[in-house]
Structure 1
């Protein structure tokens, strides 16, 4: 559950962004650290990483994120013409929702050189890129434009994105099991900014959803704890989730 402008709602995942892990490689001439040396691979890489890490990516709504914003408008009466402003209505979950509205490209690692006084002929950086489903090639071309033609882009991992309709008997059963346990609280679709095993399952023809029915206290920053040292949920949220999942399994 999340709070939307003070009202509780539940998120049901119906899609996720595509994954692109890339390596940026810069090359230059090796040399002694005391030289005047403009052909420096580390400098070239640093400029590319800074440009990519600070690049603004425009908001692009998918069918799922458009439905999410429409649900926000229905819940709050707020104007959702500015999706980023609408995301702010999600409180602590805004940081979880905002990446679903655009591409994200975050540099995550740097490597180059082996000694303080030696200029290396190669430097590299890893970048974690998450893109909206179906935009992978377009985003790679834009990344190349941002970093420049003298930076090589190596694909480390490329995986698919997906969107599944927020409809059908399974979705109806999930929504009903939640609303039986928490009457009157809406369930809205969302696009996950990260990834799950649904990517692999989709290749087998399986339509997967992300359904984690936890009723959380207002203001509890659950999504902000992901992969953290203190990631946790309250015990009563787990008890609630067990009840909802039991209802689902007994009725679907």
Structure 2
């Protein structure tokens, strides 16, 4: 799919990090980009930078998502591109014992559910609504392609660390649903792929102490550094532009395999 002014895009979590880098890459091709995010200040700034539209969207809210799609489509037309970068994480053991008191606690179910609501159900909610909209469009490729979707999972989907049960489950769900969704949409000319990033220069990680970042750099086989959001964006662009890229889950991680902790 050739990305141009005729291929409107939506990027969830597009106000910062991986989403912002991808939004910039798409906009550089001439496409109008709508940013779905909770951060109004950063979201509006990104939309202004790109000449796009900001939509304050909580992906766990049906009303928010519907309003976001309506606003984006009113501004730019029906999107042909959806990139899902919105996500959260936490670090809580399934069950643990306090070293001082011996008190035993378990993972709060509400905290587990919230991570799944954002990362898995929120992603699917946006996919389903975007795909339904794309189906109303005429094909724009020789193969009958109407649009393309890229999701964000994590290497934690395959080698989650201690305390990542909820995060790994949610991201594993994104990986697990990629091929079935691609098959659901195969007769409609809508492609679906997923990226599994390793440790990247996101706002969360860059707030760590320098020693912690040095240790993370050293843990990557090669190159020995955190990934750049622009490197994520390059893979996302390849998935969007290469019409034979479909139903795939691809690690982007410098060959890292996460240790238990």
- TM > 0.5 between the two? no
| TM-score normalized with structure 1 length | 0.27
Higher relative contact order (CA 8 A, sep 6+): 1
Structure having the higher strand fraction is 1
| TM-score normalized with structure 2 length | 0.26
Structure having the higher helix fraction is 2
